[in-house]
Structure 1
Amino acid sequence: MNIERNIYLDRLVHRMHNGMIKVVTGIRRCGKSYLLFKLFYRYLLEQGVSEENIIVMELDRWKNREYRNPEVLLDYIDSHMPDDKQYYILLDEVQMMENFEEVLNSLLHYPNADIYVTGSNSKFLSSDILTEFRGRGDEVHVFPLSFSEFMQVYSGDVYHGWADYVMYGGLPLCATMQTEEQKVQYLSKLFEETYLKDILERHNIAKTQELEDLVNILASAVGSLTNPAKLEATFRSNIQSSISSNTIRQYIQYLEDAFIIQKAQRYNVKGRKYIGSPIKYYFEDVGLRNARLGFRQVEETHLMENIIFNELRVRGYSVDVGIVDKREKIDGHLTRKQLEIDFVATLGNRRYYIQSAFRLPDAEKIRQEKASLINVKDSFKKIIIVKDVINVSRDEDGITMMSIYDFLLKGNSLEL
């Protein structure tokens, strides 16, 4: 079953021949190899590139184990580049090769080679990309399926598709499974036996239960403001654990590096500055988040917020939590309070202020959701996204309202 992932294919195409190593990253099972070895490979052939000029090596395959030796691999590449024509080198699971950082830096000296690699697990995490290639690595981060990608393979209508997506997320293999039992087992085992195991092995963590407890706490409070000090207090009161805030901070960084969670920092819109703490955490895939909690805390309100956050990141935006100061007189006294905007999405000179409102049952709820947006006085677009099926509209305050379906399924939804 084919899934077109054009947003990532376009990002690879736009990076062709830029003199850098194109590094395809992402959480395990998100579709990195499929993107590179099926979609991008097909694109190269369609552009007239000969198969002889595409050097492919899947290092995770047993039959290719000899090429995990750097000298053997480099000899193989040399033998397949007999002239000065343009060649494309595609390496999968490159972390399985010894000294892979040095090998990739060596490949940069091939003037007629355009290099693309994927990597995963404990030896190839986000922070590695920033340090190992000396400014010559160009990262393309692949997310699990967005809702629009998910609907390419979903056989039902969009409303049943949403319910499935909110529950089981967008990992490609899970999206193609037919039964709930399959999906539950797959996601639960993947989290426990792959993602957490990678972190434990990479960082030699002895107290495994503390990391697992932290994941559970973050999953239970997805999208809530927190910090290591608050989490430490939760550990002490709820679990009777003496884990320190420094250890918690370290574990959170491990989870971020492994693409399991992502933070959204608070940003003072009027003051144009970041506020250090507390911050919010969202999961890269809501299905994995639900699996971690045994599918017992599937609060659609919070998961919709998580899905909006992920969608904005898929589209390339940096995403913060907005804070707006509002001054008002109460009983003759001037007071100041802070209003929150769910998301401030920024890309270059574009910015959008976005509220996630599951339901707007009455005028009072609408007033509450609009309050923070109205207090932003700049000209950037302000949007409220609701679960209900509504027509896209703009009210007298210049605030656009749209349904979650329009937002997720229309690539130009922010411009509607």
Structure 2
Amino acid sequence: MDRIKLSQILYRWNPWWEGKKPVMPEFKRSEYFHIQKEISNKKISVITGPRQTGKTTLMYQLIAGIIDGGTKPSQVLYLLLDDFIDEIEKGNLTLREILEVWSEDILKERLTEGKKIVFFDEIQVYKKWSRELKSLISQNYPIKFIASGSSSVDILERTSESLAGRISRTIIMPLKFNEILRFYVNNDIWTEKIKPLTVSLTKCLLKGLSENKPDIFFREMSKAYKALLPIEDIIRIHFNKYFKKGGYPEIALQDLDRFQSFSRLKNYIDSVIHKDFVNFFKVRDTKTLERILKLVSKNTSQIIVERGLAKDLGASVNTIRNHLGFLESAFLVMGSSIHSKSYAKKIRRPEKLYIIDIGLGDVLAGYDDSDNGKIAETIVHNHLEFIALSNPIFQFELTYWKNNREIDIILTHKSKSLPIEVKYGKARNIEAVKDFTEKYNTWGIVISDELKQEGRIIFVPIHLILLLQ
């Protein structure tokens, strides 16, 4: 690719060089502030997560913030790798050559001179990206790299072994309910009433677990309940919408009717299956993959046996296992293993599987009122999983417990385990939770329609547990 044509493409993708600052939503996800703090360090900031969760929007918001902070616009470069991958794979272009054209022809300086910030969008399309970046970093260029990819952290780790210790990862998942509240409620209400509670509730949950004192969490939850009573109706209205629409930003943050939401999510599913899985995972049997995804959606939060799934779909167990792995790698499905200290038992026993987003699951499976219990458990599980993925302070593992009875979720933090049973619309039977608390000397949480404490079990309304941050 000649330098003039390359410069023209760069100008098209970087309008701020000509004074046209990107117009971005004012609403910023918490990950924005996390990555903003990384701008000054030398690590490569890698943003991963499902498609359509706002990674590109986040990049543009960061660019706008960097320019507002006083950085010269031409010192900020955004590259969509899809635009260059054909020439790169033919050997006609390298990332270094792109950066040199930008530096020499636009900035009028050498690559070694002046501070620069480079954004690579959809980095996973280029298999050798880590090798090229390692070469650039090893020469100590004054460049901060920020990259996004729609493949899983595991895949990015495998393709970036040469950058071990040089990468900081941020995972962007569909919106949690507390983020949707932040978008819709009055800013003063959020800042003064809700925001302080989101962090304190999580801290008190983990402190109560660590010290084996349920009262610590119950007192903080009671405080939250009383503080939010004046806006409880507003919270419930938005929760009911979230329960149906899920958390993909394009759906959750716009006033779309059911048909519009379905249409956009269906297009999203088709794009992921027929583009990402075919091009990146080299899947040829997309029909089986889509059928697996539909079955997981219909049976979200259920224990799914690979052999049974293979029989139902007329496929081999290996095909089912591989396809489920692809779905987890693309952040469409999340798995939960059985609660056990034995690793062998964990991998031997079947997983519980959860669709990543309820709105997505509704498009695939067509939920009705009989599915409300499964939907509620999926929302609670995914909310906790998203916290663990996004917040390094609150690290915990989620599993399920099954003996003679079953418990939906076991949250384990620093060897302490907390049983969580979701009783949304289901008969009130908490014997399994009681058994677990006695066996493991702990306390438990039951998601129900009221806030109260009975001994070592705390009952919490679902919209309150979703305030955990």
Same-fold status (TM-score > 0.5): yes
Quick one: which amino acid aligns to residue 279 of structure 2?
A: E
For residue 59 of structure 1, the aligned residue among 70, 80, 91 is: 80
1:160 equivalent in alignment to 2:185 = no
Quick one: which amino acid aligns to residue 27 of structure 2?
A: I
What is the aligned partner in structure 2 of residue 174 from structure 1?
A: 251
Q: Offset at 1:322?
A: 3.5
Q: How many Å separate the matches in 1 of 2:96 and 2:39?
A: 26
For residue 12 of structure 1, the aligned residue among 18, 24, 35 is: 35
Cα-to-partner distance string for 1:365-400 (whole Å, 9 max, x where unaligned): 243353344234344x522222x2x33x4322x222
Gaps of 5+ in 2: 1-24, 186-232, 389-394
Q: Offset at 1:249?
A: 0.5
What is the aligned partner in structure 2 of residue 105 from structure 1?
A: 134
Q: Report 1:34-73 matches (<5 A).
A: 34-38=57-61, 40-41=62-63, 43-44=65-66, 48=69, 50-52=71-73, 55-59=76-80, 69-73=94-98
**Greater strand content:** 1
1:228 equivalent in alignment to 2:251 = no
Indicate conservation of the 8 Å contact 2:423/2:446, yes or no. Answer: yes
For residue 129 of structure 1, the aligned residue among 149, 152, 156 is: 156
Shift in CA distance, 301/69, structure 1 to aligned 2, threshold 3 Å: same
What is the aligned partner in structure 2 of residue 327 from structure 1?
A: none
Shift in CA distance, 218/97, structure 1 to aligned 2, threshold 3 Å: closer
The SS at the match of 2:236 is: helix
TM-score normalised over the length of structure 2: 0.71
Indicate conservation of the 8 Å contact 2:337/2:346, yes or no. Answer: yes
Q: How many Å separate the matches in 1 of 2:370 and 2:67?
A: 44
Cα-to-partner distance string for 1:58-113 (whole Å, 9 max, x where unaligned): 31686999897524322146445756665433222234558433332233223533
Indicate conservation of the 8 Å contact 1:94/1:100, yes or no. Answer: yes
Cα-to-partner distance string for 1:181-218 (whole Å, 9 max, x where unaligned): 11011111211233453213334433332222211221
Q: Offset at 1:142?
A: 0.6
Shift in CA distance, 203/88, structure 1 to aligned 2, threshold 3 Å: closer
Q: How many Å separate the matches in 2 of 1:61 and 1:154?
A: 34
Q: How many Å separate the matches in 2 of 1:92 and 1:118?
A: 5
What is the aligned partner in structure 2 of residue 395 from structure 1?
A: 454
For residue 3 of structure 1, the aligned residue among 20, 23, 27 is: 27
Quick one: which amino acid aligns to residue 243 of structure 2?
A: V
Q: How many Å separate the matches in 2 of 1:409 and 1:291?
A: 26
Indicate conservation of the 8 Å contact 1:126/1:258, yes or no. Answer: no
Shift in CA distance, 107/357, structure 1 to aligned 2, threshold 3 Å: farther
Number of matched residues? 378
Shift in CA distance, 61/228, structure 1 to aligned 2, threshold 3 Å: closer
Quick one: which amino acid aligns to residue 78 of structure 2?
A: M
1:189 equivalent in alignment to 2:267 = yes
1:149 equivalent in alignment to 2:179 = yes
Shift in CA distance, 351/17, structure 1 to aligned 2, threshold 3 Å: farther
What is the aligned partner in structure 2 of residue 383 from structure 1?
A: 445
Shift in CA distance, 116/347, structure 1 to aligned 2, threshold 3 Å: farther
Structure 1 vs Structure 2: percent identity of aligned residues?
19
**Greater helix content:** 2
Q: How many Å separate the matches in 2 of 1:226 and 1:130?
A: 28
What is the aligned partner in structure 2 of residue 355 from structure 1?
A: 421
What is the aligned partner in structure 1 of residue 358 from structure 2?
A: 286
Q: How many Å separate the matches in 2 of 1:85 and 1:347?
A: 45
Q: How many Å separate the matches in 1 of 2:369 and 2:324?
A: 21
Indicate conservation of the 8 Å contact 2:453/2:459, yes or no. Answer: yes
Cα-to-partner distance string for 1:271-307 (whole Å, 9 max, x where unaligned): 7985221111112211111111245687121111111
Q: How many Å separate the matches in 2 of 1:255 and 1:220?
A: 15
Cα-to-partner distance string for 1:238-268 (whole Å, 9 max, x where unaligned): xxx2x11011111111111111111111112
Shift in CA distance, 103/347, structure 1 to aligned 2, threshold 3 Å: farther
| RCO comparison, higher one (Cα < 8 Å, 6+) | 2
Quick one: which amino acid aligns to residue 119 of structure 2?
A: L
1:33 equivalent in alignment to 2:63 = no
The CA RMSD measured in Å over matched residues stands at: 3.3
What is the aligned partner in structure 2 of residue 333 from structure 1?
A: none
Q: How many Å separate the matches in 1 of 2:48 and 2:145?
A: 14
Shift in CA distance, 96/206, structure 1 to aligned 2, threshold 3 Å: closer
Q: Offset at 1:32?
A: 0.9
